[in-house]
Amino acid sequence: MIAILTPAATEFVTPLTFQALTGNPVVRELWGDQAPRFQVPAAAAKKLRGRVEHVDVAEALDLLVIAPATADLMARLVHGSAPDALTAVALACRAPIVVCPAMDLEMWRKASTQSNVRSLRARGARIVGPESGALASGLAGPGRLAAIEAIGAAVIEAAASRASMAGVRVLVGAGRTEEPLDPVRMLTNRSSGRMGYAVAEAARDRGASVTLVSGPADLDPPHGVELVAVRRAAEMERAMTLEAARSDVIVMAAAVADYRPARVSARKIKRTSDRAVLELEPNADILAGLGAARRKGQVLVGFALETNDGIRHARTKLRVKRLDFVVLNAPEASLGRETNRVTLVDASRAEALAEMTKREVAERVLDRVIAIRGMKR
């Protein structure tokens, strides 16, 4: 265990106290002693190169717990500001982060603070608390640091989650497809790719080896994930089919065009006064093909975006395409949004989840995947 103190933290507790408790020197300075000086497990010790301390520590961490986290600190985490050792470690850290807010009640209630909390959740951080009660200001309300038992439980859960998919090969389909009509125009949809990318990142953070087959998306490729970029539905079908053969889990969150223009003009189609008729032909049903070819023990998850009779349509997709479960959502709750409201539908039940960030939805989807894999063994 390594303690990292901000300058403000040293006003409350001396570094010597944490050094005695952890058995390791306390990290306080952005440019501290660069010699490898920490007593850590052998696997982590290999990452301590003795060059830049805050980078060494960030690379070696299995989990970063920030408690208490002030409103100012959370704002710095969201915006990537790193003026001290703790925020520099957080910025360089790839391990899960548990954030435990503590502040006065009006600071907690401010729209800016709540926006920062949502941003941290959307990026995969676990938020613990705050609790309601008497505050240092003399006021009472939400803002107290969560109880040590609650923080401990979150730490145990985060640590267990990190290794929950170790050794598992996960394939995720994400983004939209684009079907050209001419060199300028195309048929596409409003999918941003956020949901599929969130699944890929969540699986990566659980220790899985992740391949992301993505059509165009409004996002940067996730770090630590193998990206296969495609554009047309036929390209996505080839890539997904190829990768599926070596995958243990497949999550198909891509918004694939059902149809494509029957003819693609080599030149821009000019405007005329006549009515234009567009002939379409069907694209292959990628998810149905994956279901038909799935091997024993493989988990297959589909998404369904429905405007009416959602449960019925999801159950039909579940049965016809041989899926383990379907993530049902609606356009108004998902397209272009940071959050989503979904229902997990299988043959026996439909579990409606509250509105949450897409990263939180991804975690719930993977929790269900892990449970199914356990039953299939």
Catalytic site positions:
189
For residues 69 and 103, the answer to whether their CB atoms sit within 8 Å is no
Asked whether the CA dihedral 330, 336, 341, 342 is positive or negative, the reply is positive
Cα separation, 370 vs 376, in Å, equals 10
| CA 76 to chain CA centroid, nearest Å | 20
Backbone angles phi, psi at 167, to 5 degrees: 80, 0
What are the beta bridge partners of residue 351?
344
Cα separation, 287 vs 319, in Å, equals 12
What one-character DSSP code corresponds to residue 236? H
C-alpha closest to that of 158 among 193, 127, 189: 127
At 347, list the tokens.
């043959």
Give 190's contacts (C-beta < 8 A, 6+ positions apart).
176, 331, 335, 336
Q: Are strands 259-261 and 64-69 parallel, antiparallel or unpaired?
A: unpaired
Q: Which three-class secondary structure state does DSSP give residue 229?
A: strand
